[in-house]
Amino acid sequence: MPKVRTKDLIEQFQMELISGEEGIHRPIRTSDLSRPGIEMAGFFTYYPAERVQLLGKTELTFFSTLEEDQRRDRMMALCTPDTPCIIVTRGEDVPPELLEASRLTGVPLLCSNQKTTRLSSRLTNYLESKLAPTTAIHGVLVDIYGVGVLITGSSGVGKSETALELVKRGHRLVADDSVEIRQEDEDTLVGSSPELIEHLLEIRGLGIINVMTLFGAGAVRNHKRLSLVIHLELWDQKKNYDRLGLDEEKMRIIDTDITKITLPVRPGRNLAVIIEVAAMNFRLKRMGVNAAQQFSERLMNAIEVGKEE
């Protein structure tokens, strides 16, 4: 199913539908917009018909200088079966040739009082958000000291219980069980919860609890940028776990690499505190303070001094 249709723009930006009502369910598949100025001059070789078309004062002023036959032909060429809609901005008068072409082809013709540049910016931001690549990951997303931490692991390893302890310690739950992630930029991932299970947390033996009802509105948030992945796994005696933190593992989600830390789980380990410290340490690293690197440098200096003696 298309994520965005023309009718969504009408509702979101309170635009007036002038004609082409039968086409308001046309899908919008790209966040790129088009201001068909060169098309008004008759050059349609590279006309991006699949984009939302914006006609502002500049385009319409030039259009008014054309001959009557040219105006009719240009507007018919502008309205194609792939065109999601044509928007006349700044409250400009709709040319009768455009109105006629819209009625003949069924292309929705919209009108907005906003300035062209302002509307273009808002439309682009809205479409980029709605059309961003998305995926769903099994895990729990928690906001810890401003760091979006995705806790993953096999079923029953203790992800939700750890998240509950983190919420009790003052942090905020974003999503439990299923985390919907969208890529808003080349290196920006934003996680949120499916609407059906928003603010809910499942604890085995206890059932489903509503975190916002129990702990208040300050214990939840609707979405959060994902910065760190912490993977929980049962302790394996044969596996060598990182003890210094010098090697930084990455996890690829959609097209973005996210720092990943693997934490072994066994009785006696306070995972909530460890994850809390991991988030703080991650913030320190982004500020340029790397404790593991500093220790390594001090160790190498001590070795060099020992050799000289």
In a domain, 97, yes or no: yes
pLDDT at 2 > cutoff 70: no
> According to the annotation, is 154 in a ligand binding site?
yes
pLDDT at 208 > cutoff 80: yes
Examine the domain organization and report whether 22 and 152 are in the same domain.
no
Examine the domain organization and report whether 116 and 168 are in the same domain.
no
- Domain of residue 291, residue span: 134-297
> According to the annotation, is 139 in a ligand binding site?
no
For the residues of 83-111, what is the DSSP string, one character each?
A: ---EEE-TTPPPPHHHHHHHHHH---EEE
> According to the annotation, is 156 in a ligand binding site?
yes
Half-sphere exposure of 54 (CA within 13 A, CB side): 25
Examine the domain organization and report whether 117 and 155 are in the same domain.
no
Q: Are strands 140-144 and 134-138 parallel, antiparallel or unpaired?
A: unpaired
User: Each residue of 264-304: pLDDT tens digit?
Assistant: 888 878 899 999 999 998 888 888 877 767 777 777 777 77
> According to the annotation, is 155 in a ligand binding site?
yes
Q: Which active-site residues does the annotation give?
A: 138, 159, 177, 243
> According to the annotation, is 153 in a ligand binding site?
yes
Examine the domain organization and report whether 105 and 156 are in the same domain.
no
CATH code of 91's domain: 3.40.1390.20
Examine the domain organization and report whether 73 and 144 are in the same domain.
no
pLDDT at 84 > cutoff 80: yes
Is residue 193 packed enough to be buried (19+ CB in 10 Å), middle (13-18) or exposed (0-12)? Answer: buried
Examine the domain organization and report whether 125 and 143 are in the same domain.
no
Q: What pLDDT does residue 49 have? A: 95
Examine the domain organization and report whether 32 and 76 are in the same domain.
yes
> According to the annotation, is 158 in a ligand binding site?
yes
Judged by DSSP in three states, 244 sits in coil
Examine the domain organization and report whether 73 and 214 are in the same domain.
no
Examine the domain organization and report whether 125 and 157 are in the same domain.
no
In a domain, 305, yes or no: no
Look at residues 67, 98, 130 and tell me which one is the last residue of a structural domain: 130
Examine the domain organization and report whether 68 and 41 are in the same domain.
yes
CATH code of 292's domain: 3.40.50.300
Examine the domain organization and report whether 149 and 50 are in the same domain.
no
Examine the domain organization and report whether 76 and 17 are in the same domain.
yes
pLDDT at 240 > cutoff 90: no
Q: Where are the alpha helices (DSSP H) in the chain?
A: 6-12, 37-40, 57-63, 68-78, 96-105, 116-130, 159-168, 211-215, 271-286, 291-308
Among residues 133, 119, 129, 134, the alpha carbon closest in space to that of 52 is found at 119
